[in-house]
Structure 1
């Protein structure tokens, strides 16, 4: 049972997040609930509030986002993968190479140890990278700090780009669902529950999200079930993910990594800028708009980019196809790149 101080802090965080979210909604920013909750949580976490979001709640929120992605997936997604697969793979490999290059530079400059720099700069799912980094002997605190600094920077930059590249008079349709009623909501909750549990138990990377995404996509595309995501469920999930990310920025973590912060920030924005160039090149190769290209190449987590993409006028099928492909490529190549960067480090660590 939480004590009175914890309850007051959560009430304050909830109120602050609500106020900032409302301001972001008025400013027409995408993923306002995610942004508002995340920015407020960073302030509370770095201020020493000591609040945490239980991992089960975070996994549940990821499962809901998996259903959101499934609702956005259509037969066009598979056709996009088949038609543009080689180009997508090239973009993914370039993004991974950019992360490896940044990790190598950080190692050479002795900003961070080799394997820590490799995992921290790897453009995959933040939670998966932290878990795998710990398995391979890296400092999980530094990796987590690097990953979540990048997630925050990517979310902010993607939200800004989306805000200014999206015509406010052409707002996208709400991703909440198709008005299928209580039955569709129950189906969606069942997909989130069983898909999330299956993905997590099978130890699939980002399984809590991938499981519902795969099962829900099959049901949705085949017409076997209608997906319906009430606004309150979506907004609550956005906020949980934002709090989970933001509250990781504790006073102790920031203090321990303060000496590496300039290098981490430079590395983060370096990767974002490099991916921005890939996005620009992508618009010259494929008939896609700049916003779709930017979100597809954005080196953020699949969940946060999915939230922004679905709430924008971007080609969601293309964005999600590239982001999902990159997640699996990073998970396969991560250990190899980590060992290579470690060997290239001064002293061979």
Structure 2
């Protein structure tokens, strides 16, 4: 495709994203600048637009979101983990188990092969699940499609729940850092934290390293007063949009065609996982002194970056949400292979992945 046509498609996507984001922001939806671009990108991807967000661009956006989260984190997150560690671990295990149950049912009903159903239903980071699924012999295309359908559905459902449970706020203040003088030295320091944190975490091959590295480094510096973590709104807006485009453009016409026969099962599985986690979130409000929005975001089986954006932009307890989501990410990476084998054993004897 010619450069001019590619630039024209990006311009059209940018315009459509802006219109949708403006409409959602006017309706007081949290993370409108994430949700609008994601919906626009899904439409463009399904219609065959050959657009992709380069991986470095996506990682850069994650690093900026990590800095945004770091600004919201305070020493309370450590206290949250220490005080409610057992319950947080229980929340994580129940969420992982919900994904395993859905994968088991899909396998028994012959909707999907065993390990593919397991990896596709696993509530971990989509890119990590796809990579591990391919390593263990599953169809990476189907796993990727399941994962990104779930991420999109979680963003939509979490945004709706947050909108219903949060008092309307000014569109410009949702999910942004408090208004303050953006001193050039503070902005430069924050960008250094993003680059250094992401670089170290990616070199160590940490899961979601581009997000977690700046989040941990920035939180430590910000909470101790050693550095002020601030970012201009234009950079945060660009990060939101980039993540939305990255997820949305994964939904291509080719992927839909290849997975069309499994689409009903994938949609049912996605809704089932979200509903199971929502039910567990309701139960948490009876056990812990937390509100339903906090519990819902903590148990949501979506991407850490997307959930973090929604949590920061609403009245949720960011410390609790991030503690649960971060711990779950590591638990899923550890238990994923075991869960995949367990689900594969549920396959009927005449299927390729049985046993």
TM-score by length of 1: 0.97
Question: CA offset at residue 3 of structure 1?
Answer: 1.4
Q: Distance in 2 between matches of 1:160 and 1:223?
A: 35
Structure 2 partner of 1:198: 200
Q: Distance in 2 between matches of 1:173 and 1:233?
A: 15
Structure 1 partner of 2:261: 259
Question: Does the aligned pair in 1 maintain the 2:30–2:174 contact within 8 Å?
Answer: no
Question: CA offset at residue 170 of structure 1?
Answer: 9.1
Which of 214, 229, 232 is 1:230 aligned to?
232
Structure 1 partner of 2:12: 12
Question: Does the aligned pair in 2 maintain the 1:72–1:175 contact within 8 Å?
Answer: no
Q: Distance in 2 between matches of 1:335 and 1:207?
A: 20
Q: Distance in 2 between matches of 1:41 and 1:193?
A: 27
Cα RMSD for the two superposed structures: 1.5
Q: Does 1:182 align with 2:184?
A: yes
Structure 2 partner of 1:210: 212
Question: Does the aligned pair in 1 maintain the 2:281–2:292 contact within 8 Å?
Answer: yes
Structure 2 partner of 1:166: 166
Structure 2 partner of 1:341: 343
Structure 2 partner of 1:50: 50
Greater mean deviation of Cα atoms: 45-54 or 129-138: 129-138
Question: Does the aligned pair in 1 maintain the 2:65–2:305 contact within 8 Å?
Answer: yes
Q: Distance in 2 between matches of 1:118 and 1:68?
A: 32
Question: Does the aligned pair in 1 maintain the 2:102–2:121 contact within 8 Å?
Answer: yes
1:346 aligned counterpart, secondary structure: coil
Distance of aligned partners of 1:140 and 1:43 in 2 relative to their CA distance in 1, 3 Å threshold: same
Structure 2 partner of 1:156: 156
Structure 1 partner of 2:139: 139
Structure 2 partner of 1:69: 69
Q: Distance in 2 between matches of 1:187 and 1:339?
A: 45
1:205 aligned counterpart, secondary structure: coil
Which of 273, 279, 282 is 1:280 aligned to?
282
Q: Distance in 1 between matches of 2:169 and 2:315?
A: 11
Question: CA offset at residue 182 of structure 1?
Answer: 1.0
Question: Does the aligned pair in 2 maintain the 1:180–1:226 contact within 8 Å?
Answer: no
Q: Distance in 1 between matches of 2:74 and 2:230?
A: 15
Structure 2 partner of 1:313: 315
Question: CA offset at residue 110 of structure 1?
Answer: 1.2
Question: CA offset at residue 138 of structure 1?
Answer: 1.2
Aligned residues: 349
Structure 2 partner of 1:109: 109
Distance of aligned partners of 1:255 and 1:265 in 2 relative to their CA distance in 1, 3 Å threshold: same
Q: Distance in 1 between matches of 2:207 and 2:245?
A: 21
Q: 1:72-87 alignment to 2 at 5 Å?
A: 72-87=72-87
Structure 1 stretches of 5 or more lacking a match? none
Question: CA offset at residue 203 of structure 1?
Answer: 0.9
Question: CA offset at residue 113 of structure 1?
Answer: 1.1
Q: Does 1:25 align with 2:28?
A: no
Cα deviations by residue, 1:71-129 (Å, 9 ceiling, x for unpaired)? 11101111111111111111110000000000011111111111111110000111111
Question: CA offset at residue 343 of structure 1?
Answer: 2.2
Q: Distance in 2 between matches of 1:164 and 1:126?
A: 27
Q: Distance in 1 between matches of 2:175 and 2:39?
A: 24
Question: CA offset at residue 179 of structure 1?
Answer: 3.3
Question: CA offset at residue 176 of structure 1?
Answer: 2.2
Cα deviations by residue, 1:226-269 (Å, 9 ceiling, x for unpaired)? 10021111110010000010000010001100110110000000
Structure 2 partner of 1:100: 100
Question: Does the aligned pair in 2 maintain the 1:179–1:228 contact within 8 Å?
Answer: no
Question: CA offset at residue 174 of structure 1?
Answer: 5.6
TM-score by length of 2: 0.95
Q: Distance in 2 between matches of 1:297 and 1:276?
A: 7
1:245 aligned counterpart, secondary structure: helix
Question: Does the aligned pair in 2 maintain the 1:95–1:299 contact within 8 Å?
Answer: yes
Question: Does the aligned pair in 2 maintain the 1:180–1:227 contact within 8 Å?
Answer: no
Q: Distance in 2 between matches of 1:17 and 1:34?
A: 9
Which 4+ runs in 1 deviate beyond 4 A? 169-174
Distance of aligned partners of 1:190 and 1:109 in 2 relative to their CA distance in 1, 3 Å threshold: same
